[in-house]
Amino acid sequence: MKRICVFCGSSPGSRPEYAEAARHLGVTLAENDIGLVYGGADVGMMGAIASSVIATGGSVTGIIPRQLADQKVAFTGLADLRIVDSMHQRKALMEALSDGFIALPGGLGTIEEFFEIWTWAQLNMHRKPCGLLNVCHYFDRLLAFLDHTVEEQFVEIDHRRMIIVEKDPLTLIERFRTYQPPVTDKAKWALKMNNS
């Protein structure tokens, strides 16, 4: 596991525990020699995690669309800041560079990024682990809704189980290391489409 992509809020949220959890994850990545890939901004949870990785001597790759970089939110002190043309290019590069994906608490951007990368896993477009760091129970109601999607038979239980949920960053990373992706009907179907 060389690099993990972290999706997280451009805001710090309402409680100090959120940014504290971002810093804790950053230190844990750096201490385990795992590089951070993230959205490249210097604000909110994003700034907190990037600063903590750098302060612990770890490596950070920021990927930011030009439009956001032009608004001066980019973390200009990063040794590896990549400016891309669109949100789509950013996500594709995040996926290509990373060996796993974690969402910390965040807003629409965080949720959208995490769900797209999980959707790609569901379709077997990558086989990398996806996890939520459930700080202060932030994701509890989302997880309850995901259980509902399974009960209503819109999501396969194996796809729901792909999401690794932990409160402690090191435990989450250890579960990433032993992750085995399921082979589901949808994945088989996607493979057939890819090969035809």
Distance CA(141)–CA(126), nearest Å, equals 27
Residue 10 touches ligand AMP, criterion: CB under 6 A: yes
Q: Do 18 and 9 form a contact (C-beta atoms < 8 A)?
A: yes
User: How many other CB atoms are there within 10 angstroms of residue 59's CB atom?
Assistant: 18
**Exposure string for 126-165, b = 16+ CB within 10 A, e = fewer:** bebbbbbbbbeebbeeeeeebeeeeeeeebbebbeebbbe
Phi, psi torsion values for 60, nearest 5 degrees:
-130, 130
* DSSP helix/strand/coil, 160: helix
Task: Return the number of the residue (5 or 187) whose C-beta is nearest ligand AMP.
Answer: 5
Task: Return the number of the residue (78 or 187) whose C-beta is nearest ligand AMP.
Answer: 78
Q: Which of 52, 98, 110, 134 binds ligand AMP (CB under 6 A)?
A: 110
- Residues that contact ligand AMP, how many (by CB under 6 A): 19
User: How many other CB atoms are there within 10 angstroms of residue 181's CB atom?
Assistant: 16
Of 168, 5, 7, nearest to 103 (Cα)?
A: 7
Q: Which of 29, 53, 60, 64 binds ligand AMP (CB under 6 A)?
A: 64
Task: Return the number of the residue (44 or 58) whose C-beta is nearest ligand AMP.
Answer: 44
Cβ of residue 87: shortest distance to ligand AMP, in angstroms?
8
Q: Which of 12, 13, 26, 39 binds ligand AMP (CB under 6 A)?
A: 39
Residue 107 touches ligand AMP, criterion: CB under 6 A: yes
User: How many other CB atoms are there within 10 angstroms of residue 174's CB atom?
Assistant: 12
String marking each residue 66-85 x if it binds ligand AMP according to CB under 6 A: --x----x------------
Cβ of residue 193: shortest distance to ligand AMP, in angstroms?
28
Cβ of residue 47: shortest distance to ligand AMP, in angstroms?
10
Instruction: Enumerate binding residues for ligand AMP (CB under 6 A).
Output: 7-11, 39-41, 43, 46, 64, 68, 73, 106-110, 113
